[in-house]
Amino acid sequence: MTIFKQRQQWLQDEMRKRGWSGFLVTHNVDIYYYCGSMQTGYLFIPTEGETIYLVRRSLVRAEEEAAAAIEALGSWKTLGERLRARCAGTDAAAGDPLRIATELDVLPVQLYVRLQTALPGAVWEDGSLLVREQRMIKSPDEVTAIRAAARVVDDALEAVIPHIREGMAEFELMALIEHQLRLCGHQGLMRMRAYNSELITGMVASGASAAVPTYFDGPAGGTGLHPSSPQSSGRALIQRGDPILVDIGCTIDGYLIDQTRTLVIGDLDPELQRAYDVAEEILRATEARLQPGTIAEHLYLLALDQVQEAGLSAHFMGYGADQVKFLGHGIGLEIDELPVLAKGFKYPLAPGMVIAIEPKFTFPGRGVVGIEDTYLITEDGYEKLTVSRDGIRSL
């Protein structure tokens, strides 16, 4: 049985527990996760029976790739009848209303209304959390792809570092990094699930501009090149003594790595150096507790205690009203996966989870310093997936 069939079967087992008739998967990343293809259409996983992939375009690609039966999407007028037919053998066959789940966290309202019209009388359930929780646990193949992405990020960083010079524009440094990443196999796309959230290759900025806040839910903003893309690298010139924050990712075979390193031409200001040292202390203390059973929330609360003791609470993970309230996040096909290391997230760590941990400190007008590594939770602890060496790199 392929990994995709195993995932479908797991979802079917969970649907039976909930009394659902089926799951209509509409989100591209989730469609890929369950069938191994990402063509335009919808994947329907009935509680009983075979998964069907209703494809608008391209049928040819879907037939080559997908672990599912393939049919043309066809007319919306017949969609409801076709889905009902796939639910034979469930409670719906006895006259009860269909109970169909879908990912309401990402489903556009317009599409939701069309689905309600196509399936009058059906009860729609929010299955988004179930999918996201299933995706928390990575298979060996998923971890292999993330490991490969980590090596690519490290190779690209090492190739670019010798070319960093005083007076270089931030966007020029980002361009060099992106060029190297692409040469090494980066797909050029980093996906996020959250509504209206977008990500470039990462956040590469220096000095004061790195500390400019923005809409992106992270501790460092960056000016970007224009208000239409207000994040990451801008036109500021890298200066001697300014911290250069290189928070970058990479996608290999659909899977992401996320890491941050702090660079400087010359020497870093002592106060910023101390803040960086505290960031590494937080990372080491968090590593010591990365083991199955540890509650995700507790790791964040521990970090807050360390930050308060160091007298740096005002600068942790942003500044003022723009501080973000997390220490780390799950990562996989998307960069904002579960679990989140934040208040309210009671998930116990479990083998197979992959988590990026990113303690950072923001100093308005001066810069951002910190570090980020990605970890796999194992049966007896963790494996660090990022391979770039720690410590501030003085150029």
pLDDT single digits (tens) 280-338: 999 999 999 999 999 999 999 999 999 999 999 999 999 999 999 999 999 999 999 99
Q: What pLDDT shows up at residue 307?
A: 98
384: enclosing H helix or E strand: strand 381-384
Domain 137-394 CATH class label: alpha beta
Stated pTM of the model? 0.95
The tokens for 268 are 């870093």
**pLDDT tens-place string over residues 6-51:** 999 999 999 999 999 999 999 999 999 999 999 999 999 999 999 9
Long-range Cβ contact pairs of 175-182 (< 8 A, separation 24 or more) = 177/201, 177/204, 177/246, 177/248, 180/155, 180/156, 181/152, 181/153, 181/156, 181/248, 181/250
Residue 227: Cβ-neighbour burial (10 angstroms; 0-12, 13-18, 19+): exposed
pLDDT value at 141 more than 60: yes
pLDDT band for 90, please (50, 70, 90 cuts): low
pLDDT value at 97 more than 90: no
The tokens for 23 are 């799951």
pLDDT value at 371 more than 70: yes
Domain ranges of the chain: 3-134, 137-394
Dist CA 66 CA 93 (whole Å): 28
Amino acid (1-letter code) at residue 294: T
Q: What pLDDT shows up at residue 91?
A: 53
Dist CA 32 CA 61 (whole Å): 13
Beta-bridge mates of residue 205: 245
User: What is the average per-residue pLDDT within 359-383?
Assistant: 98
| CA-based end-to-end distance of the chain | 51
pLDDT value at 92 more than 60: no
pLDDT value at 103 more than 70: yes
**pLDDT tens-place string over residues 204-251:** 999 999 999 999 888 888 999 999 999 999 999 999 999 999 999 999
CATH superfamily, domain 3-134, is Creatinase/prolidase N-terminal domain (3.40.350.10)
Torsion sign (Cα): 50, 54, 60, 62: negative
